Amino acid sequence: MIVPIISTEDYLSPDELTNSLLILPQVIISCTLDHELELLLQYLKEDPTSQASLTVLLSPHFLDQTVSLLDLGVTKVIYKCSQPNLLQDCLNNATDFPSDRVGCYIDLDTCKDTFISNIPTLVQTFTWLGFYGENSQKTQERTEFATRLNSSQCKVYSGTWYLSIKNNISDIKELLQFGVLPVIESSNLSLAENDSAKINLGDAIVAGLVTDREDQLYTTCVVDEYEELLGLVYSSSESIKESLKIRQGVYQSRKRGLWHKGQTSGATQDLLQVNVDCDRDVLKFRVAQHREGFCHLNTWTCFGPSKGISALSRSIKKRKLEAPEGSYTHRLFSDHELLNSKLMEEAEELCEAKSAQEAAWEAADLIYFALVKCTSLGASLSDVEAHLDRRSLTITRRAGNAKPKWSKNLELQKISAIENSKLQQQQLSPSSSTNPQTESINQALANLQANSSSNAEIPPVAEARIQMQSYFLNEISANERSSLLNRPILQSKEIQSRVEPILHEVRIHGDAALLDFTAKFDRVKLEKTHLAAPFPPETMTIPDEVKKSIDLAFENVFKFHKAQYSDKTLEIETMPGVVCTRFPRPIQRVGLYVPGGSAILPSSTYMLGIPAMVAGCEEILVCTPPRSDGTIAPEVVYVANKIGASMIVMAGGAQAVAAMAYGTQTIPKVDKICGPGNQYVTCAKMIVQNDPTAMVSIDMPAGPSELLVIADSSATPKYIASDLLSQAEHGPDSQVVLVTVDLDDESVTAIEDELHRQASVLPRVDIVRESIPKSVLLRVDTIDEAIQFSNDYAPEHLIIQTDSSVSLIPRILNAGSVFLGHYSPESCGDYASGTNHTLPTYGYAKMYSGVNVDSFLKYITSQYLTKEGLNLIGDAVEILAHTEGLQAHRNAVTVRLQDIRASK
- Indicate which residue of 797, 826, 882, 884 is catalytic: 797
Mean pLDDT for the stretch of residues 75-90: 80
- Other Cβ atoms less than 10 A from the Cβ of 868: the count is 12
Residues 656 and 560 in one domain: yes
Q: Is 807 part of a structural domain of the chain?
A: yes
* CA–CA separation, 583 and 858 (whole Å): 9
Does the residue 468 lie in any domain? no
Whichever domain contains 312, its CATH number is 1.10.287.1080
Asked whether the beta carbons of 609 and 643 are under 8 A apart, the reply is yes
How far is 334 from 328, CA to CA, in rounded Å? 10
Residue 625 located in a structural domain: yes
Kindly state the average pLDDT of the residues 407-425: 50
Nearest to 130 by CA among 4, 281, 278: 4
Q: Give pTM, 2 decimals.
A: 0.52
Mean pLDDT of 102-109: 83
Q: Is 796 a catalytic residue?
A: yes
pLDDT tens readout for residues 694-719: 999 999 887 778 999 999 999 999 99
* Amino acid type, 416: S
| Domain-located, residue 893 | yes
Confidence (pLDDT) at 157: 58
Are 685 and 499 spatial neighbours (Cβ–Cβ below 8 Å)?
no
CB 373 within 8 A of CB 342: no
The total number of structural domains in the chain stands at: 6
3-state secondary structure of 239: helix
> Tens of pLDDT along 135-147?
666 666 666 766 6
**Is the same domain home to 717 and 824?**
yes
Helix (H) or strand (E) segment spanning residue 852: none
Q: Are residues 573 and 667 located together in one domain of the fold? A: yes
Looking at the structure, tell me whether residues 53 and 161 fall in a common domain.
Answer: yes
pLDDT in tens, 173-200: 777 777 788 888 888 888 888 877 888 8
Q: What band does 433 get if pLDDT is binned at 50, 70 and 90?
A: very low
- H or E element at residue 643: none
CATH code at position 269:
3.10.20.810
Asked if residue 550 belongs to a domain, the reply is yes
- Per DSSP, the three-state class of 875 is helix
Structural domain of residue 888, as residue ranges? 866-903
- For the residues 737-756, what does the mean pLDDT come to? 95
The C-alpha atoms of residue 663 and residue 650 are separated, in whole angstroms, by 14
Residue 797 designated active-site: yes
Regarding whether 258 and 201 lie in a shared domain, the answer is no
Any domain includes 449: no
The verdict on 285 and 177 lying in the same domain is no
Q: Which of 384, 412, 440 is the last residue of a domain?
A: 384
Q: Which of 36, 729, 752, 796 is catalytic?
A: 796
Domain with residue 559: its CATH number is 3.40.50.1980
What whole-number distance in Å separates Cα of residue 625 and Cα of residue 594? 8
Classify residue 399: in a domain, yes or no.
no
Q: What is the pLDDT of residue 142?
A: 64
3-state secondary structure of 673: strand
Predicted confidence (pLDDT) per residue in 542-573, tens digit: 999 999 999 999 999 999 999 999 999 999 99
**In terms of domains, do 196 and 109 share one?**
yes
What integer pLDDT is reported at residue 444 of this predicted model? 45
Q: Which of 176-185, 315-324, 514-523, 853-862 has the highest mean pLDDT?
A: 853-862
Helix axes 887-902, 867-883, angle to 10 degrees: 150
